[in-house]
Structures are given as C-alpha cells and as structure tokens.
Amino acid sequence: MSEPDREPTEKPTTSQEEAEAEGHWMARYGIGIAVVSIFTLLLIVIAAMQFTGVVDVFAPIADTEGQQWGVFFVLALIVLIVGGWSWKAIIS
C-alpha cells in the first residue's frame, strides 16, 4: 500500500499577477491545440476527397496525381512541425 503525495504537484496561485499569467498561458495553450486540430482535420478531409477522386485540390499547382500527393504530404509535414513546435512551447 503506497502513501499518497503529501504535497500537491501544483500549488494554488497567491497573487493576482500570477493568476493572470497562468490564465494567459492556458489561453495560448488552448488556442494552439485548437489551431493544430483544425488544420489536421482539414488535411484529413482533403486527403479523403483527394483519395476518392471527388476533387483535385492541388491540380492548379501540380499536374500529376503523384505531384498532388507530394504537395499534400508537404502540407501534412508542415502541420506536424507546427504541432510539435506548439507542444514544445507548452511543455517548456
């Protein structure tokens, strides 16, 4: 049987300035997660439409189907990099 932690990992705020700083940090965290989630969902929808042949989204900038998928994967890589960057900013 283990003994529970005697001290909480996060202490309650003691000043108004600390509470405001924590609120701003939480807002940035939420916005960052929301933006990355929206772009990820948008890429999933574009990939589904592209795969089924409903649309050729990247036809104006890429001629062949392989080039269109290449553009899609570059966009997916950008979303992953932005997601990793925002996650790193949250953790540190």
Tens place of pLDDT per residue across the chain (92 aa): 456 656 656 677 778 888 888 888 788 788 888 888 888 898 889 888 888 888 777 778 888 878 888 888 888 898 888 888 777 766 65
Distance separating alpha carbons of residues 36 and 14, to the nearest angstrom: 33
Q: Are 39 and 77 in contact (CB under 8 A)?
A: no
* DSSP class per residue in 10-27: SPPP-SHHHHHHHHHHHH
The model carries a pTM of 0.61
Instruction: Kindly list the domain boundaries of the chain, sorted by start residue.
Output: 62-92
